[in-house]
Amino acid sequence: MLSEVVEGLEVTPGKRYIDATVGGGGHGIEILNRGGKLLGIDADPDAIKYAIENAKCQMPNAKWGEDVKIVQGNFRDIERIANENGFSKVDGVLFDLGVSSHQLDIPERGFSYRFADALLDLRMNQSEGESAATLLQRNSREELYEILATFGEEELARPIAHALVGARRVKPIETTGALTAVIDSVVPKAQREKTLSRVFQAIRIAVNDELTALRVGLTGAANVLTPGGRLAVISFHSLEDRIVKGFFRERKMKNMTKKPIRPTENEIRTNKRAGSAKLRIAVNL
């Protein structure tokens, strides 16, 4: 939703914007292309490297350190990062939540169950925190159930948690294939794909403490927005979307999207992963 985002942010030449999840840099490059100044943030060091290379290739005349800065960090620290980089007051902030296509397509990150031999990691930043494999080994049956039921909204959370505890007694669950095998032992074949997606989502959210980071990050973003500045959030599941809607209400921001903006059918055809995306935009009063 490239055009929907930059139009929703009302990108204007000379104004300042933060892409709090810069990823490959697509949204950020379009902000620069329209004359905005950009601070890009991402927790993933691989994403930072790629975004810098992409921006320098596509925007060779951009003034680094003045028109554009791209730095590594978690968006829960957006207010501190903005202040440290001269973006203490900005005209727009974007959060594009979830996992990037790059992360899903790199086997060693463990984000996708398509790669059976991949180590089960799921961290946005592999140098911080504990991996998914460690979480599955350490947490109790009840804790695993809560993760699957709360973050994955998974109906079969209890039998899956029970199966995970049984499987790890025999051998630690250290690869995506090992986790998939446990789920396959419990879940009917017709439900397999959706259940796998929900389980991997739930564990990823727990590993990265994503919902807490989102709540803290939204507050920090609102704190650096000028009056009239815009906050745009692309979410991919109901847990995120509820937090975003609630934040707009609590912060008394002007909600510009009573119903979320959805990707066009053409975008979904070219990128199936966009199918669940919801864009919400609010104005800081």
CATH homologous superfamily for 106-207? Putative methyltransferase TM0872, insert domain (1.10.150.170)
Q: What secondary structure letter does DSSP report for 98?
A: S
**pLDDT, mean over the chain:** 91
Check for a shared fold between 2-96+210-283 and 106-207: no
Q: Nearest-CA neighbor of 261 among 233, 231, 220? A: 233
Q: Which tens digit of pLDDT belongs to each residue from 96-138?
A: 997 765 566 566 666 666 777 888 999 988 888 899 999 999 9
C-alpha distances in Å from residue 254, one per residue of 11, 19, 46, 234 = 18, 20, 35, 17
In this prediction the pTM is: 0.90
CA distance 275 to 280: 15
The pLDDT of 77-93, averaged and rounded, is 97
Q: Which tens digit of pLDDT belongs to each residue from 50-75?
A: 888 888 888 888 888 888 999 999 99
Per-residue confidence (pLDDT) for residue 118, from 0 to 100: 87
Report domain 2-96+210-283's class. alpha beta
Confidence band of 264 (pLDDT split at 50, 70, 90): confident
Q: Domain map of the chain by residue range?
A: 2-96+210-283, 106-207
Place of tokens 């509820």: 242
